[in-house]
């Protein structure tokens, strides 16, 4: 059985392709929300340990918004988007026609807007995976944590810590106007599900 540390080049490039298609879908969805053109850079798939990922995200105490979605159905596991606070703020402001300044006085309404963004983004990737693999997939209601990156990442690290220290994520940049939005998506199917995906793609 394959795990996150013994994937070969071909398997990694196939998984990258999921990221590519998912990000394309996400860019289209974001364009619709923002009523503005959103482009993206070529996503990069990385499998590294938690400490390294914390550093890539700006250090343990850097604040960010984490949106967690569980994958259900024939592929089980988790998707965790780690997004810049400024980016989330501007999305909320566009979606709700508000002008929130800080996350200190965030309302229930704002939180449900963030959940909706989570639904839209995770839907983009889920449909990429299920289209490529023909596997039936669903998603849970998104859960939000606005906190330090290190604390947010303790969740997936602990969930997958029994199997090793590696996390798989996709890094990409969305470009809207002059803004460049860095997005990090942790995509961690359970090992049986990872193998099922590889089988469906005929690269096992």
48 part of the interface to other proteins, by CB under 8 A:
no
161 part of the interface to other proteins, by CB under 8 A:
yes
Residues touching other proteins, count (CB under 8 A): 30
Name the packing angle between helices 9-34 and 108-133 (round to 10°): 140
197 part of the interface to other proteins, by CB under 8 A:
no
Interface map 163-192 toward other proteins (x if CB under 8 A) = --x---------------------------
What single DSSP character describes residue 40?
E
CB 192 within 8 A of CB 92: no
At 9, list the tokens.
Answer: 């080049």
The alpha-helical segments, DSSP class H, found in the chain are: 9-34, 50-56, 85-96, 108-133, 149-161, 191-200
154 part of the interface to other proteins, by CB under 8 A:
yes
Tell me the closest approach of the beta carbon of residue 174 to other proteins, in angstroms: 24
- Residues 165 and 86: their CA atoms lie apart, in Å, by 30
- Residues 162 and 44: their CA atoms lie apart, in Å, by 26
Interface map 106-145 toward other proteins (x if CB under 8 A) = -------------------------------------xxx
Residue count (the chain): 204
Among 9, 97, 101, 104, binds other proteins (CB under 8 A): 104
Residue with Cβ nearer other proteins (108 or 202) = 108
65 part of the interface to other proteins, by CB under 8 A:
no
CB 90 within 8 A of CB 96: no
42 part of the interface to other proteins, by CB under 8 A:
no
- Residue ranges in contact with other proteins by CB under 8 A: 50-51, 54, 59-61, 63, 66, 68, 103-104, 143-155, 157-159, 161-162, 165
């Amino acid at each position: 059985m394959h795990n996150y540390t013994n994937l070969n080049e071909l398997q990694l490039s196939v998984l990258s392709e999921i990221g590519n298609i998912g990000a394309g879908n996400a860019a289209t969805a974001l364009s619709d929300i923002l009523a503005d053109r959103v482009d993206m850079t070529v996503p990069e798939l990385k499998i590294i340990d938690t400490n390294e990922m914390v550093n890539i995200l700006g250090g343990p105490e850097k604040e960010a918004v984490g949106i967690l979605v569980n994958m259900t159905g024939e592929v089980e596991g988790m998707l965790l988007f780690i997004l810049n606070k400024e980016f989330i703020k501007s999305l909320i402001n566009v979606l709700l026609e508000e002008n929130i300044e800080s996350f200190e006085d965030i309302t229930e309404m704002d939180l449900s807007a963030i959940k909706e963004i989570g639904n839209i983004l995770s839907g983009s990737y889920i449909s990429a995976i299920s289209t490529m693999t023909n596997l039936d997939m669903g998603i849970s209601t998104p859960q939000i944590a606005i906190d330090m990156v290190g604390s947010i990442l303790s969740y997936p690290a602990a969930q997958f810590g029994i199997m090793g220290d590696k996390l798989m994520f996709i890094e990409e940049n969305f470009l809207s106007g002059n803004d460049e939005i860095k997005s990090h998506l942790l995509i961690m199917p359970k090992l049986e599900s990872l193998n099922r995906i590889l089988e469906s793609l005929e690269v096992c």
